[in-house]
């Protein structure tokens, strides 16, 4: 069974389900005031990989990823600043709902392109404010929170294990989550659950404490418990979520329920850009759409992610991406040379039922050991390359294994010939339409293929195509 590093205990633990045969998982999703960048996508790919492995083990996975469309402050380490969505409204001149819708759709499209499967639900924060108000009120009633001037703060002194997730004690922390100490706070480390809205704020909600909006942290607590229950199995996110976001989230959730809500916390490390953390302020942000415009197969980005384990940093450079793209293309060609694909089992148990060769089973065991060992995907990829090149295993068995393992890896390793032939025919028709200046027909073909999950890229070497996921 899959073993993962639990950030809370700092140990590698076997995933043990709260309910037999079922897993509940919550993942922190995007703040939809701008396009997600490829560094963000690595975090979402980790959640996707965990989900894929659990399904491959035959478990039923209920997965939730939130959409933050309100309450995410410009300075997450302080309670000052402005909501990021408000700034986007000013920049783009559109209503907040339209901005959120645009970037949510763009995010989901990018996930499709990078092979990140759709989660069961994508709750928007703005649709769950009543649950956030209820949880905040419960925390006040239980003595874990207090109101000051229409804002509500969580009192960290009432939660003894506050710094356990980040490995910090209250004494070790600097003056709260901020540089300037808020005089309304009882303790420097207290954080906002609800913020009073000023007269000029456009997005506001009613509450027992007056008009305002939820803090970023209370959103995930309220939505995760509302959708998954007061206890669930796995919570994922990026390493930068550990403090303050998940530290605060854990405190709120456990204080509101009176027990540990999340069984296992899993965090992935950063994707760097030429050695530096990818951030808009550093002007080194790259989006999936930009990679597509440059002619890259977006699944090459996923292959780059798999070059290191999730708890290690990966350096994103153009040379590294080109190497990943070349390696992925050659791997697909090697698999295609083995013959036409047949049915591929979608689970570990299905593969074991289908295998008749001892050598093939040995390869499968090696792959599963690597994946289950805290997601050692580099070792799993090495097992894949070795299996594909093993002439002691029948070609059809090798194709079958590659197709089955791709349920975990998500690299589109095996392509159906009939589908490929149709796509190529439509591309040729589109090229003829463009030569004839029938741009309307060319656009219709592009849209038709896009609706089927196929993206076209016009490059100097001709039109290329990639299938999302």
3-class SS at 143?
coil
Residues 185-225: tens digit of each pLDDT? 998 889 999 999 877 777 789 999 999 999 989 999 999 99
Residues 317-367: tens digit of each pLDDT? 999 999 999 999 999 999 999 988 888 999 999 999 999 889 999 999 999
Query: What Å distances lie between residue 158 and 146, 162, 189, 246, CA to CA?
Result: 11, 9, 12, 17
Residues 377-416: tens digit of each pLDDT? 999 999 999 999 999 999 999 999 999 999 999 999 987 6
- Choose among 108, 109, 114: nearest CA to 45: 114
pLDDT at 124 (0 to 100): 96
Query: What Å distances lie between residue 193 and 137, 190, 216, 351, CA to CA?
Result: 10, 10, 8, 49
- pTM, to two decimals: 0.87
For the chain, domain boundaries = 3-268, 272-409, 417-467
For 272-409, which CATH class?
mainly alpha
DSSP code per residue over 37-82: PHHHHHHHHHHHHHHHHHHHTT-EEEEEE-BB-S--BS-TTSS-S-
Q: Residue 227 and residue 233: Cα distance in Å, rounded?
A: 13
pLDDT at 78 (0 to 100): 43
Q: Indicate if 272-409 has the same CATH topology as 3-268.
A: no
CATH architecture of 3-268: 3-Layer(aba) Sandwich (3.40)
- Choose among 153, 201, 200: nearest CA to 177: 153
Q: Tell me how far apart the 2 most distant CA atoms of the chain are, in Å.
A: 74
| H runs (alpha helix) in 258-317 | 288-293, 299-305
Strands (E), 187-301: 191-196, 212-214, 232-238, 262-268, 271-273, 276-277
Q: Residue 42 and residue 267: Cα distance in Å, rounded?
A: 11
pLDDT at 420 (0 to 100): 64
């Amino acid at each position: 069974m899959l073993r993962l590093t639990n950030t809370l205990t700092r140990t590698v633990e076997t995933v043990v389900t709260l309910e037999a045969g079922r897993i509940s998982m919550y993942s922190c999703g995007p703040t939809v005031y701008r396009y997600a960048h490829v560094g963000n996508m690595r975090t979402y790919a980790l959640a996707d990989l965990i989900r894929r492995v659990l399904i491959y083990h035959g478990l039923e996975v209920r997965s939730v990823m939130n959409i933050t469309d309100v309450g995410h402050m410009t300075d997450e380490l302080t309670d000052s600043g402005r909501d990021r969505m408000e700034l986007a409204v000013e920049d783009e001149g559109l209503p907040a709902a339209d901005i959120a819708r645009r970037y949510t759709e763009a995010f989901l499209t990018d996930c499709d392109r990078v092979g990140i499967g759709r989660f069961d639900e994508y709750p928007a924060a703005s649709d769950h404010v009543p649950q956030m108000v209820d949880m905040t009120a419960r925390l006040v009633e239980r003595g874990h929170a207090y109101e000051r001037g229409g804002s509500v703060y969580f009192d960290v002194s009432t939660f003894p294990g506050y710094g356990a997730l980040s490995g910090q004690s209250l004494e070790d922390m600097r003056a709260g989550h901020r540089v300037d100490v808020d005089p309304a706070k009882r303790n420097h480390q207290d954080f906002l659950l609800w913020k009073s809205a000023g007269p000029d704020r456009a997005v506001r909600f009613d509450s027992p404490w007056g008009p305002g909006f939820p803090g970023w942290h209370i959103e995930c607590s309220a939505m995760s418990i509302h959708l998954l229950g007061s206890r669930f199995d796995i919570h994922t996110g990026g390493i930068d979520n550990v403090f303050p976001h998940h530290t605060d989230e854990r405190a709120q959730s456990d204080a509101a329920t009176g027990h540990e809500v999340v069984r296992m916390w899993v965090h992935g490390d950063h994707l760097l850009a030429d050695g530096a953390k990818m951030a808009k302020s550093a002007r080194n942000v790259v989006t999936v759409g930009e990679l597509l415009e440059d002619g890259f197969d977006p699944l090459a980005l996923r292959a780059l992610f798999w070059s290191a384990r999730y708890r290690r940093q990966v350096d994103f450079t153009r040379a590294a991406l080109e190497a990943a793209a070349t390696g992925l293309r050659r791997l697909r060609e090697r698999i295609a040379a083995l013959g036409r694909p047949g049915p591929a089992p979608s689970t570990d148990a299905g593969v074991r039922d289908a295998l008749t060769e001892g050598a093939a089973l040995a390869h499968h065991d090696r792959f599963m050991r690597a994946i289950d060992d805290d997601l050692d995907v580099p070792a799993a990829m090495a097992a894949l390359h070795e299996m594909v090149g093993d002439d002691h295993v029948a070609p059809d068995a090798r194709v079958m294994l590659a197709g089955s393992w791709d349920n975990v890896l998500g690299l589109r390793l095996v392509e159906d010939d009939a589908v490929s032939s149709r796509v190529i025919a439509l591309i040729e028709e589109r090229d003829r339409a463009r030569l004839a200046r029938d741009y309307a027909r060319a656009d219709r073909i592009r849209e038709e293929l896009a609706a089927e999950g196929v993206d076209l890229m016009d490059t100097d070497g001709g039109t290329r195509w990639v299938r999302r996921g």
